[in-house]
C-alpha cells in the first residue's frame, strides 16, 4: 500500500491531522501522477514531540550501536535503489541513467562516507585537566530541496544519526516521493521509533513551523538564499543553530595555460548536468578575451551535442526542469540576457523544437556577458551558461569574486601550481581544480550568501554536535 498520503511519525505511518493533499507533477508531461498529504502545525508538533521523547535514550546509544544502525540503513537503501532512481526520474525529471548513476548513487555514497568517517570519529579529547566532549545537539529539523533529493536527505540524516540526534525531515513537496521511500528504508532498517520522522508540506506551513519550534534544537536547511533568510529569521527567536547550504553563481576560470578546447567543452557539460539544476554548477565561464570567440564556438558545439527529451528514454542527456515555476523563471532570465545585450550563441527562449509539452529548456549559451548583467548575477537553475571575457588574470579573479554567493568556484589550468595559486584567492567554500572526481569527504558549504556550516562525512557529523568542556575532570 502506498504511503504517499501519510507521514512517518514515531515509528508508524499516520494520517495527517488535517486531510489536505497536493498533486505531484511529472515535469516531462506536466500531469499529476500521484498525490501527497500536506502537513500542518499539528503534524509538526506530533513529529517533534516524538523526536524529543526519543532523544534521551538514543543520544546515549554507543558509537557501535549507531554504526550498526547506519549499516542496516545502507543495506535497506541498496534494496530500494532502483525504486529510488525511478522516483527521482519521475518527480524531478532526471534522465533515468543520471538518476541511477548520480542521484540514487549520491544517497548511497553519503551513507558509505558517513559510516567510514564515523568509524574514525573521536567524541572526547583531553587538554590538561579538561575533558572536551562532543555531544548530540538534540532534535533536528532537516529541510531538503528537490534538485538533489537523496543527496541532501542522506547527507543530513546519516550524520545526524552518527551524532546521536533525533530528527524530523521535510523533503521538498515538489519532489517528495523519493523522500517517502527513504522513510520506508529507515523503517525497514529498524530505526527506533521517534528517531526519524517525516512530515511533508510547504515551506510556510511545515518548514517555518519546524524552524521556529521551541523543541527543535537545530535546523539544517538546503535551498534558495531567499528561503534560507526566512528560515534563519524564524529560528532566531529560539536561538537555535542553523546550518544552511544555499544558492550559488559559481565562476569557472579558464586560465590561458589550460587545454582550451577540452576545458571549455567540459565546462558546458558540467554546467548543464542535472539540467543545470545544481547549486554549485559552474554557470559563469571566464575566458581570456583574445580567445572569447573561439570559446563561443566550442561551447556552441558542446551544447548542441546534448540530447534533451523524455527522461525515461535511454541516451538522453537533459530532462525537463522541475516545474512550471522554474520553467517560467528560466525563460524570463533568458529573455533578460537577450534584452541586456549578451550574445545568444545557441538555444534561447521556448522549448526545444521536437518537444511540445513538458518543462524542457533549450540548452542555452550566452557570450559577451558582463558581470553586471542579470544572467551573471542571478542563480538561473537551468541549462544556461554565461561566458565572460577577461583581459588579465587579476581581472578574472576580481570578476569571479564579484558575487553575493560563494558556494563553489572552478579553475582550469595546465599547471597545477598555477591553479593552486588562483584557487587560494577565490572566495568560495569549494574550489574544483581541473574538473576533479567528486569527493564525498571534502567539506561542502558556502561563503557569503551561500550559507554557513559544512556537510559531508565528518564535517557534517561535527555540525550536529555540541561542545562541552568538563574543567577539572583530570585533577
The strand pairing partners of 135, in sequence order, are: 466
Q: Strands (DSSP E) along 313-383, which ranges?
A: 343-346, 364-367
| Closest among 13, 4, 172, 159 to 92, alpha carbons compared | 172
Q: Please, which residues have CB within 8 angstroms of residue 43's CB and are 6 or more apart in sequence?
A: 7, 9, 16, 17, 199, 201, 206
Q: Which residues are catalytic, by number?
A: 245, 279
- Helix, strand or coil for residue 232? helix
- How far apart (Å, rounded) are the C-alpha atoms in residues 406 and 284? 13
- Helix, strand or coil for residue 204? helix
- Helix, strand or coil for residue 26? strand
b/e map 158-196, b = 16+ CB within 10 Å: bbbbbbbbbbbbbbbbbbbbbbbbbbbbbbebebeebbb
The DSSP element (H or E) to which 57 belongs, if any, is helix 41-58
- How far apart (Å, rounded) are the C-alpha atoms in residues 26 and 278? 19
Where on the phi/psi map is residue 275: left (φ > 0), alpha (ψ -120 to 50), or beta?
left
- How far apart (Å, rounded) are the C-alpha atoms in residues 241 and 461? 14
Distances in whole angstroms, Cα of residue 272 to Cα of each of 186, 275, 316: 33, 5, 13
Grid coordinates representing 50?
A: 516524538
The DSSP element (H or E) to which 304 belongs, if any, is helix 292-305
Where on the phi/psi map is residue 274: left (φ > 0), alpha (ψ -120 to 50), or beta?
left
Cell 558509537 found at:
63
In what order do the strands lie in the sheet containing 343-346? Answer: 343-346, 364-367, 384-390, 284-288, 251-254, 408-412, 430-433
Cell 567554500 found at:
429
Residue 250, judged by CB atoms within 10 A of its CB (0-12, 13-18, 19+), counts as: buried
The strand pairing partners of 455, in sequence order, are: 444
Amino acid at each position: 500500500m502506498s504511503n504517499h498520503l501519510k507521514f512517518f511519525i514515531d515509528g508508524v505511518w499516520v494520517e495527517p491531522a488535517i486531510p489536505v493533499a497536493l498533486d505531484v507533477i511529472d515535469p516531462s508531461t506536466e500531469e499529476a501522477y500521484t498525490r501527497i498529504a500536506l502537513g500542518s502545525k499539528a503534524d509538526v508538533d506530533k513529529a517533534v514531540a516524538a523526536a524529543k521523547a526519543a532523544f534521551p535514550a538514543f543520544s546515549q546509544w554507543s558509537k557501535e550501536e549507531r554504526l550498526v544502525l547506519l549499516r542496516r540503513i545502507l543495506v535497506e537503501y541498496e534494496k530500494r535503489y532502483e525504486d529510488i532512481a525511478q522516483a527521482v526520474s519521475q518527480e524531478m525529471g532526471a534522465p533515468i541513467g543520471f538518476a541511477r548513476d548520480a542521484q540514487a548513487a549520491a544517497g548511497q555514497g553519503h551513507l558509505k562516507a558517513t559510516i567510514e568517517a564515523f568509524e574514525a570519529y573521536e567524541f572526547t579529547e583531553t587538554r590538561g585537566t579538561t575533558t572536551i566532549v562532543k555531544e548530540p545537539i538534540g532534535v533536528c529539523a532537516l529541510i531538503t530541496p528537490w534538485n538533489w533529493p537523496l543527496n541532501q536527505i542522506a547527507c543530513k540524516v546519516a550524520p545526524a544519526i552518527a551524532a546521536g540526534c533525533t530528527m524530523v525531515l521535510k523533503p521538498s513537496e515538489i519532489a517528495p516521493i523519493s523522500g517517502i521511500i527513504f522513510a520506508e528504508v529507515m523503517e525497514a532498517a529498524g530505526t527506533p521509533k521517534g528517531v526519524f520522522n517525516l512530515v511533508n508540506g510547504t515551506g510556510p506551513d511545515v518548514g517555518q513551523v519546524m524552524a521556529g519550534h521551541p523543541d527543535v534544537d537545530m535546523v539544517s536547511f538546503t535551498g534558495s538564499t531567499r528561503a534560507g533568510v526566512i528560515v534563519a529569521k524564524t529560528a532566531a527567536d529560539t536561538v537555535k543553530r542553523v546550518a544552511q547550504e544555499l544558492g550559488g553563481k559559481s565562476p569557472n576560470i579558464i586560465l590561458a595555460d589550460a587545454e582550451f578546447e577540452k576545458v571549455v567543452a567540459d565546462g558546458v557539460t558540467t554546467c548543464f548536468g542535472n539540467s543545470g539544476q545544481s547549486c554549485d554548477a559552474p554557470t559563469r565561464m571566464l575566458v581570456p578575451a583574445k580567445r572569447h570567440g573561439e570559446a563561443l564556438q566550442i561551447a556552441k558545439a558542446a551544447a548542441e551535442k546534448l540530447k534533451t527529451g523524455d527522461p525515461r528514454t535511454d541516451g538522453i542527456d537533459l530532462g525537463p526542469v522541475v516545474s512550471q515555476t522554474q520553467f517560467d523563471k528560466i525563460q524570463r532570465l533568458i529573455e533578460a540576457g537577450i534584452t541586456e545585450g549578451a550574445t545568444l550563441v545557441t538555444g534561447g527562449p521556448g522549448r526545444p523544437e521536437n518537444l511540445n509539452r513538458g518543462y524542457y529548456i533549450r540548452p542555452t549559451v550566452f557570450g559577451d556577458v558582463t558581470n553586471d548583467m542579470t544572467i551573471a548575477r542571478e542563480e538561473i537553475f537551468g541549462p544556461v551558461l554565461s561566458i565572460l571575457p577577461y583581459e588579465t588574470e587579476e581581472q578574472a579573479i576580481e570578476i569571479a569574486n564579484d558575487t553575493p554567493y560563494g558556494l563553489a568556484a572552478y579553475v582550469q589550468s595546465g599547471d597545477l601550481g598555477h591553479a593552486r595559486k588562483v584557487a587560494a584567492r577565490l572566495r568560495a567554500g569549494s574550489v574544483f581544480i581541473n574538473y576533479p572526481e567528486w569527493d564525498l569527504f571534502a567539506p561542502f558549504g558556502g561563503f557569503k550568501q551561500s550559507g554557513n556550516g559544512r556537510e559531508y562525512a565528518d564535517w557534517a557529523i561535527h555540525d550536529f554536535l555540541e561542545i562541552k568542556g568538563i574543567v577539572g575532570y583530570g585533577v
